Structure 1
């Protein structure tokens, strides 16, 4: 992680959008926006979230909205009908089961519908600025490409890596590997020629590289 960090700083690579928003978004915004973002591009997610937050800036207002109205506001995010039902149910449950406050523990967040490990850890790290290890597809792919693990899903990667990852890197690991994956260690034809980890990388499933 240290070498990746130094490399990204040298190349002046900007932090991922989520990391830039740490401390600037309340947990409600992070939770709802993350759910809307699943299998949806940022260019669609951000405007949809803004439309929704204008009408439902908090849990009480979201819980009182009709599902059809939520659908209209968040369209065309992927699976918008399912997501509309999910976020309304989340609002209702947080109000009744958590006193109207988004839970700030992994266990509490995972008890909510539609919230998996990635979403829960993102809410913890970005919304609450707490410790968490968020594993998305970039983190999962890169760690497997390096050959340090052999897993089949981001959740499996989380359960293997989280217990052994040094505490100081848990929050930073996602931001570093997402930026590294977006700009250099890409899914197809990664830029291996400039990678500082090339001598130690097994390049698992890399057929072509630059």
Structure 2
């Protein structure tokens, strides 16, 4: 099945219709809390991240407070998020850089975001999109899987899929479409047992007959 531009446009229209009111499941109140939450979300559910950040931010909700807490205590606070040694190191080093170079504030510039320890394209795109209202498509495991299955954007790396999605989706919808694809991956197009019979894109999906 060849997925044409017209079919891709129909896919986006249907995803928007179903998931138009969705947003990030992460809890945060400012760009710094969002940044920390996204770093913690690697290989961890948003539900678990929210449990961890509720506890952490009651004690330390700024870069300076986390530095005062110390890395050992930080590890204790985030240990239930998985990969906590590496995450604590990245968060702590990021806090140092924020305090030393950005007056304790999360930078709005995309390249500056990428310069922070532990911040890759996905994290930078999430922060740029949600915190600073800039068009961006963050490719996490759900977006990567759904995009490839639908052939909305094919690629073997997140960067390749990101470029494909940027071509397939109007720029003004990039940030919202990021959430549509995530929620579709969570609710319907699951990794192991996709619910194809319930999928609103079933008749358009070239993979529907292959994953069942």
Q: TM-score range by the shorter chain?
A: 0.7 to 0.9
Task: Report the Cα offset of residue 8 of structure 1.
Answer: 4.0
Task: Report the Cα offset of residue 205 of structure 1.
Answer: 8.6
Secondary structure at 1:2 match in 2: helix
Structure 1: runs of 5 or more not aligned: none
Asked if 1:53 is matched to 2:57, the reply is yes
1:53-102: CA deviation from partner (whole Å, max 9, x where unpaired)? 12212111112221111111111211111111111110110111223210
The corresponding residue for 1:151 is: 155
The corresponding residue for 2:117 is: 113
1:154-210: CA deviation from partner (whole Å, max 9, x where unpaired)? 2321133325531121111111111111112222232222333223221079331xx
Task: Report the Cα offset of residue 103 of structure 1.
Answer: 0.9
Contact 1:192 1:198 in 2 (8 A): yes
Q: Select 2:22's aligned residue among 12, 15, 32.
A: 15
Provide TM-score, normalisation by structure 1: 0.85
Q: Select 2:39's aligned residue among 32, 35, 41.
A: 35
Asked if 1:76 is matched to 2:62, the reply is no
Structure 2: runs of 5 or more not aligned: 1-11
Distance between the aligned counterparts of 2:208 and 2:117, measured in 1? 35
Distance between the aligned counterparts of 1:85 and 1:17, measured in 2? 25
- 1:1-210 correspondence to structure 2 within 5 Å: 1-8=12-19, 15-18=22-25, 25-162=29-166, 165-203=169-207, 206-208=210-212
Distance between the aligned counterparts of 1:49 and 1:132, measured in 2? 24
**Cα-Cα RMSD:** 2.2
Q: Which runs of 4+ in 1 moved over 6 A?
A: none
